Structure 1
Amino acid sequence: MDRLPEEVILHILGFLKVPDIVHLQAVSSRYLALGRDNALWKTECFVDSRAESLRRRNMLLGMQDVRIAELRNAVTALPGPDLTAWDVSQLRGSPQPRASNDPAAEARIQRARAFANWEPGYPDERLDYYDEYVHRHAPVKVAWLDLPKAQASDKEEYREATGCATLDGEDGNVNHLVAPLDDGSICIWDVSNRSTSMAGGRGRLTAQSRPGLLTGTPPDDTEKSHIMMTETGAVESLHEVDINTLQLVSTKTYPWPITALSEAKQTTPLTIGTNWTVHLHDPRDSALTSPPPTTNPELLNPSTTSSHATLAQPGPLSILHDPSPNPSIWLAGRFTSLLHYDRRAFPRLLNTLHSGARIASLSSLPYPLIPQSLDLVRNPETGLSALAVARSSPGTTILAAAEYKGKGSLELYGLPRVQPYQNRQTASASKLLAVAPHGGRIVFSDGDGNLKWVERDGFSHVRTFNINEALPNGSGGGGQEVSGEDASADGIWSSTAGGMPGQGDIVQKITPMHPVFASSTGTGAASGLGERQRQDVNQSNLLLWTGDGRLGVLGFGPGNPLGEDQWREEVGVAAESTEQRAKGDAERQYGMAMRRALERNADEVRFVRGLGMLM
């Protein structure tokens, strides 16, 4: 085998099952490199994708007897106005237009078209399809960060995070997580990735400021700080804090409560959205020079020179910086349009995009949006060359998580030519809260506690995970690693949202630890075996901030997303002994059994109440 060329070995690997390919990687460094071949895992991802299953289904439907096709049509809903001619032909049992009279050649052509149509990567993007396969099929694990315990409390109560932000390294990857707490303090955690030479941050709490730093209250007055940090619409001041010393640098007060902040990276200024205004923050200006808006604000005239823009409707929730081709600002919120500002001529309003939905989160993908008209499967007349030209064209896609008429709406807007796509049918039964690009997929969260991954078309489902299946027993997280397989039964005493929408925790913010950049090296993909030796596989994790103030790292596979270390260096606690772990496991098992009993009793009470037998 060692004398065989790599092409022959890769051909042999194509006949093996996925577990066998994974085991082969442990044989030697050569088989490790061959077992991580990108083309091999790209094919495996496609074979297990929804696109390939639909292709096989359509092929089987085309082989059905005419009488069976007629019976299928009798129970099939009438085609809607958004269906293509190919969809209608499938519903009616008509054969799909064929590219060849040879069945074998026809199957190869259709598979090639489906493969090209599914491919998530772009010509100048280097995706790691081994990681893609892991993210699509491996078990989901969530490790919760340690939150400080509430002072002067006899109970196991922990502080709540009221937001979160990241500090990126020189490579663009996230190294530290920064979060304000409900007691007015700021904490910093080390979430850097592990490698062969470094163990990684493991989510260690590295620094914490004094309580009341952000609220201006005494350190012992945590109750007042809690009210100020958690009450909606109570924050009207922007505080700048030195990360090295955790001391206040400056404070600036705005005329209305602050509802949205943009990212602040390198030379890009911070954009601040209040309930009625939008400001560009200049750290050199410590005074508020613009007067507060009137009680009936209107959009500013583009020719007016002012330091802020006034909104016609209140409630901005998300601000996105678009760096190319011209630096601009996108603003969205409780109003039903996206506002587009020219950053160089602020507050000039370039244009607006009507959505009709209320948008909670904006994100961007530095690649063009492929229109539905270029779908090679639904449009047989579309050629591969047209799709290739669209993929290689420059562009950006804005991702929006929204709510439309009580349901979730995942919206994609292609730039510079506005090409909107709105998934308001299959995204979610509840409002969407956050969205982000994640490798070759898009991930978003909804009001039922679900995290959903879809393909970059915004429609094709990949997988779903409910955050309540990975909640720790305690409220503080405590660095616990919980798997999605540990979900308990549903009930009024349960935090699981699987059976009762609206119950349990939700994910308010999603931050990829490996952001997607337009360059070929910015996606976290490895360029070869040398890169694999420096950085471990499956480091494209997600940072989560939940509605209950928890902070967690979501990863894939059997290991802990924060690392294999089972002890806490920051507090000097050694690893638990076997007896202690057994005792802790027994306590958790007893707690879960008691909770299930209470849940069953609550379900019986709810059932009887539904019959009208209990007042």
Structure 2
Amino acid sequence: MDQLPPEILLNIITFLQVKDILHVQSLSRRFLALSRDSNLWKIECFTHSRAEAQRQRQQLIQAQDANLAALREAVGALPVQRTSRSVVVEAVGDSGEVGQDGRASDVEREKARTAARMKAREQLRALTNWDPSYHGESVDWYQEYIHRHAPISVGWLQLPSSIGGGERDWVEATGIGVIRADDGETAAIAVAPLNDGSVCVWDVAPYEKATYGQQGRLLGKSPTGLLSGRAQQADVTKAIDQSKTIMTETGAVECVSVDSRLRKAYFAVQNTLNEVDLNTLQLVHRETYPFPITALSAADQGSPVTVGTNWTIHVHDPRNKRATSFTDTSIRCELIGGSAPSTSHASLAQPGPLSIQNLQTSNSIWVAGRFTSLLSYDRRFFPRLLGTLHSGARITCLSVLQRPYVPRTLDLLRNPNVSLGALQAAKVGAGVTLVAAGEYKGKGSLELYGIPTHSSSAFKPTAQTMQYQNRQTASGSKLLSVTPHGTRLLFSDGDGNLKWVERDGSSLVRTFNINSAIPDDTRALHANDYRSDTYNPHSNHPYNLFAGTADELPGQGDIVQKLIPTLDPCPLSSRASSSNSSSCSKPSDVLLWTGDGRLGLLSFGHESKIVKEAVERVESTEERARGDAERQHSMAMRRALERQADEVRFVRGLGMGYM
């Protein structure tokens, strides 16, 4: 074997199963390098993809002769004791016609060769059509296969305890952000505000680079009430109560923006924007806006933070350190009487921006939210509205894929007349893809928009802008967050599911429910909250009409509100130019922020190093027993909202013949 050239050895390895290829890696360094060949694992990813499996099933159905299929169905319906005639029919159906001398003629051999060439050509078109990579993009397909098929585990970060004792010991995160390492791509520190008004930081660097080898270790915590303005109160108990009310009143998801280069973060609390120095965890500046802040853009290097309030859009100037406070009266009057000549903000006709994206390549600002259109601004002409893209859905999250949009008309399988060159030319072109996740008529909506990059002129969206909207197979519930992850798109929905799809937005790769990763000890503690006689966790009857399982606890379904890959899907190096960057396709772990205030780290192929730490904390938590009254109220409200949601789903299906 040592004398064989690597090409032959690699060809032999291609005939092995995946589990055997993994064993070959441990033989020697030479076999390790050969078994990690990128093209080998690319073919494996394609072979095991759902798109290829669906294509093969369709080919089998189309290739099956109608008369032969009917004959097989008739034979299959016969009794168990089958005649020799039926065996002959099956043999003919399996092997086809046999010549008198058992040898195929030259014409038949030529037909076989032609069929083989056609099959190879079809497989090449299918591979090219599936290939999610772009020209010049370096993809680690071995890691891609792991992220597509390896087991998933979630480790929960340890949340600190507040001061005051009793039921106030239990705190929850109200947002999440990350500090990137010096390379600008890898997440090194997780930053989160807590409902007691404090700011906490954790070490989320890779395990080999983590501090003291403890991934998920709590690095620091600011004073309680720092963000809520209650840090100076003498009565700590009262300060914590007021902080919890203030921190959770608005409920904005995009409420944290981190500048990794300057090591500072912006936290939105009601109508106040707090600037915190992450080196000292001290408040640097505080700015007040006329309405509650509902969204913040990323604090990217070279572009200022865009602040979205309930009725206005502002471009934050970090150089202005004076104690500024917008006059509520002037802006409120402007919304009624019209725009002022020299205004520094943009007014909204409808309230509720939920997500803001800055495209540095085109100096554009995209705003989406509870209104049914995507708003486009340009920083050079702000606050003038350049244009809108009508969606029809309520958008909850925007993300950017630093790759040009490939229209559905270039699908090689659906459109046989499209050439391979046309698809490859579309991937080489300039532009970015704006990804939007939201809700359309009660179902999840995943939308893709092609945005060209212009350095000299602003892009004005029109009705002819290339777009794709997946509102059939994305999810049966509202989509909450979306982000590029490797060569895939990752999004979460209102049922607690995490779904990975290809970059086309429709081909499902895999799915995972976050509730399957919650420790059993946590579920047991939550089960103590149900003291009502109307609910029995050991009952064989479902809790309500639409319960998934008989022993499912109502109100135990958690959701993921925010997804942040530990590797930046669009680092600064790729934003400077719209050309391809290999770092945009590296798969990584994912940071999670759930609706119950948990922070987790989702990993692939290995058990998370911080799972045991979170379980030990749950086991040693005694404040849940002391805060029984507060939990009873919150769970009762949750059950009421679930009943209302069940009624809405029931009424939605009336008169349609199905549920």
TM-score (ref. length: structure 1): 0.78
Q: 2:242 aligns with which of 216, 224, 244?
A: 224
Equivalent pair of 1:215/1:225 in contact (CA under 8 Å): yes
Shift of 1:62: 2.4
Equivalent pair of 1:192/1:201 in contact (CA under 8 Å): no
Match of 2:430 in 1: 394
Shift of 1:123: 0.8
Match of 1:470 in 2: 517
What amino acid is the match of 1:112?
L
What amino acid is the match of 1:126?
S
Report whether the alignment pairs 1:257 with 2:311. no
CA offsets 1:204-259 (integer angstroms, 9 cap, x no match): 11010010001111344211111111122770101111111111111110000000
Provide closer, same or farther for how the CA distance between residues 418 and 248 of structure 1 changes in structure 2, counting only shifts above 3 A: same
Report whether the alignment pairs 1:520 with 2:532. no
Shift of 1:367: 0.5
Q: Which has the larger radius of gyration?
A: 2
CA offsets 1:137-164 (integer angstroms, 9 cap, x no match): 1111000000012444356953100001
Unaligned runs of at least 5 residues, structure 2: 73-110, 252-268, 453-463, 525-539, 575-579, 622-638, 648-659
Provide closer, same or farther for how the CA distance between residues 198 and 392 of structure 1 changes in structure 2, counting only shifts above 3 A: farther
Map 1:563-574; keep pairs closer than 5 Å.
none
Q: 1:108 aligns with which of 114, 120, 125?
A: 120
Q: 2:371 aligns with which of 335, 343, 348?
A: 335
Match of 1:86 in 2: none
Match of 1:406 in 2: 442
Shift of 1:9: 1.4
The 2-side partners of 1:243 and 1:265 are apart by 16
Q: 1:352 aligns with which of 347, 369, 388?
A: 388
Shift of 1:283: 2.0
Q: 1:455 aligns with which of 490, 502, 513?
A: 502
Match of 1:434 in 2: 481
The 2-side partners of 1:187 and 1:17 are apart by 46
Equivalent pair of 2:179/2:188 in contact (CA under 8 Å): yes
Q: 2:147 aligns with which of 135, 155, 165?
A: 135
Provide closer, same or farther for how the CA distance between residues 198 and 299 of structure 1 changes in structure 2, counting only shifts above 3 A: farther
The 2-side partners of 1:142 and 1:431 are apart by 23
RMSD of Structure 2 on Structure 1 (CA): 3.4
What amino acid is the match of 1:166?
V
Shift of 1:394: 1.1
The 2-side partners of 1:273 and 1:420 are apart by 25
Report whether the alignment pairs 1:56 with 2:74. no
Map 1:150-549; keep pairs closer than 5 Å.
150-154=162-166, 158-171=170-183, 172-195=185-208, 202-217=215-230, 218=233, 219-220=236-237, 221-232=239-250, 235-285=270-320, 286=322, 287-288=324-325, 292-294=330-332, 297=335, 304-324=341-361, 326-416=362-452, 418-473=465-520, 504-517=557-570, 518=574, 519-523=580-584, 525=586, 540-549=588-597
TM-score (ref. length: structure 2): 0.73
Equivalent pair of 2:444/2:493 in contact (CA under 8 Å): yes
Equivalent pair of 1:401/1:409 in contact (CA under 8 Å): yes
Structure holding more helix per residue: 2
CA offsets 1:1-60 (integer angstroms, 9 cap, x no match): 233222111111100110111122122222222111110000000000122112211221
Equivalent pair of 1:514/1:524 in contact (CA under 8 Å): no
Higher alpha-carbon deviation: 53-62 or 356-365: 53-62
Match of 2:97 in 1: none
The 1-side partners of 2:67 and 2:446 are apart by 39
What amino acid is the match of 1:29?
R
CA offsets 1:505-538 (integer angstroms, 9 cap, x no match): 100000111122344331364xxxxxxxxxxxxx
Equivalent pair of 2:204/2:210 in contact (CA under 8 Å): no
What amino acid is the match of 2:604?
F
Equivalent pair of 2:591/2:599 in contact (CA under 8 Å): yes
Equivalent pair of 2:602/2:608 in contact (CA under 8 Å): no
Provide closer, same or farther for how the CA distance between residues 558 and 497 of structure 1 changes in structure 2, counting only shifts above 3 A: farther
The 1-side partners of 2:210 and 2:508 are apart by 37
What amino acid is the match of 2:429?
S
The 2-side partners of 1:476 and 1:244 are apart by 36
What amino acid is the match of 2:128?
A
What amino acid is the match of 1:255?
P
The 2-side partners of 1:41 and 1:198 are apart by 33
Aligned residues: percent identity? 51
The 2-side partners of 1:70 and 1:368 are apart by 47
The 1-side partners of 2:161 and 2:151 are apart by 30
Equivalent pair of 2:289/2:326 in contact (CA under 8 Å): no
Equivalent pair of 1:411/1:423 in contact (CA under 8 Å): yes
Provide closer, same or farther for how the CA distance between residues 196 and 296 of structure 1 changes in structure 2, counting only shifts above 3 A: closer
What amino acid is the match of 1:180?
P
Equivalent pair of 1:159/1:476 in contact (CA under 8 Å): no
Unaligned runs of at least 5 residues, structure 1: 73-98, 478-488, 526-538, 585-601, 611-615
CA offsets 1:159-211 (integer angstroms, 9 cap, x no match): 10000111111222111110000000000001011348987550111010010
CA offsets 1:467-515 (integer angstroms, 9 cap, x no match): 11111346699xxxxxxxxxxx99659xx97898986110000011112
Match of 1:4 in 2: 4
Shift of 1:300: 7.4
Match of 2:608 in 1: 560
